[in-house]
Amino acid sequence: MVFSKAGLSGRRCLISGAGGGVGAATARRFCEEGAKVTLTDLDQGAVERLAAELGGEGFEAHALALDVTDDAAVGAVVTEAARLMGGLDTLVPNAGVLTMGAVETLSPGAFRNTLEVNLVGTFLCIRHAVPLIRAAGGGAIVCVASQSGIEGVPEASAYCASKFGVVGIVQSLARELTGDGIRVTAVAPGLVDTPMLRGFYEHRADALGGAVETLFAAAIDEYPIGRLATPAEVADTILFLASDLASYVSGATLPVIGGQVSH
């Protein structure tokens, strides 16, 4: 999908969790639409490779290591990203972890870590980016929530809590920041065919003694469209929300769920 009026030419975008999956796909789509991007990830090597690849294609892409749970590190990286790009007007706080487990067996540490990465990490990125986006005259923040942030999923209490929290942040900050010319939205994907998801299903298959493809087939059956989403499809939705095509959209969380409806 290519938008004729995406409005990203000259935009300066920071994307967390850009080492692979949806974050990497979003970085590429933003570059294709004329944006400058700074890619951040806990895996520095992954974002450096992607930035080099995009740079080799003539795009402006920078890479910085980032632990989104470290407030001081987030502040330093956001400031450096703005310096590298000549400002900051678009943020995609995408970094996240997928944690599953029954409530009796899920450790408090795993629960807290999920909230720290998915929810607190989103908050910290926004907290440090807002003054720079405001100084740029406004812009867009597109968070990455989940279908599991709209509807509860069994054995996913930590993940659901974190993503419901992201939706709450979006609704709150849209009212708080839209008057400053900063739109705040989110995408809420269902299952996306990423290495993180495949790794999760491999772990589940080992635990259950089944086959990965059997678990994938059962997951796909939940979606009327007949397949999982691709990272590029979610990236296209993020691109839309960040672009001028969504100039009157703020506070919304847009499901990307292939026709599935709530039970």
Q: What is the pLDDT of residue 262?
A: 59
Q: Name the residue type at position 198.
A: R
Over residues 207-229, the mean pLDDT reads 79
Is 102 found in the same domain as 36?
yes
Is 17 found in the same domain as 62?
yes
Residue 181 lies in a domain: yes
**How far apart (Å, rounded) are the C-alpha atoms in residues 255 and 24?**
20
Confidence of residue 6 (pLDDT cuts 50, 70, 90): low
Dihedral sign, CA of 75, 25, 162, 67?
negative
Whether residue 217 has pLDDT greater than 90: no
Residue 148 lies in a domain: yes
Is 220 found in the same domain as 156?
no
What range does the domain containing 212 cover? 193-228
Alpha helices in the chain (DSSP H): 21-32, 44-56, 71-85, 108-115, 121-135, 157-177, 195-208, 212-220, 231-242
Is 205 found in the same domain as 127?
no
Over residues 223-231, the mean pLDDT reads 84
Question: Quick one: residue 138, left, alpha or beta (phi over 0 = left, psi -120 to 50 = alpha)?
Answer: left
Residue 71 lies in a domain: yes
**How far apart (Å, rounded) are the C-alpha atoms in residues 33 and 164?**
30
Could you list the active site residues? 159
**How far apart (Å, rounded) are the C-alpha atoms in residues 175 and 201?**
38
**How far apart (Å, rounded) are the C-alpha atoms in residues 153 and 221?**
16
Whether residue 193 has pLDDT greater than 50: yes
Is 29 found in the same domain as 137?
yes
pLDDT (tens digit per residue) in 102-132: 899 999 999 999 999 999 999 999 999 999 9
Over residues 5-14, the mean pLDDT reads 86
Regarding pTM above 0.85, the answer is yes
**How far apart (Å, rounded) are the C-alpha atoms in residues 14 and 191?**
24
| Residue tagged 């942030």 (tokens) | 149
Q: What is the pLDDT of residue 26?
A: 98
Cβ count near 35 (within 10 Å):
27
Q: What is the pLDDT of residue 3?
A: 40
Which phi and psi angles does 36 have, rounded to 5°?
Answer: -90, 140
Over residues 165-173, the mean pLDDT reads 98
Question: Domain tally for the chain?
Answer: 2
Is 32 found in the same domain as 153?
yes
Which phi and psi angles does 144 have, rounded to 5°?
Answer: -110, 100
Q: What is the pLDDT of residue 1?
A: 36
Percent of the chain at pLDDT exceeding 90: 76
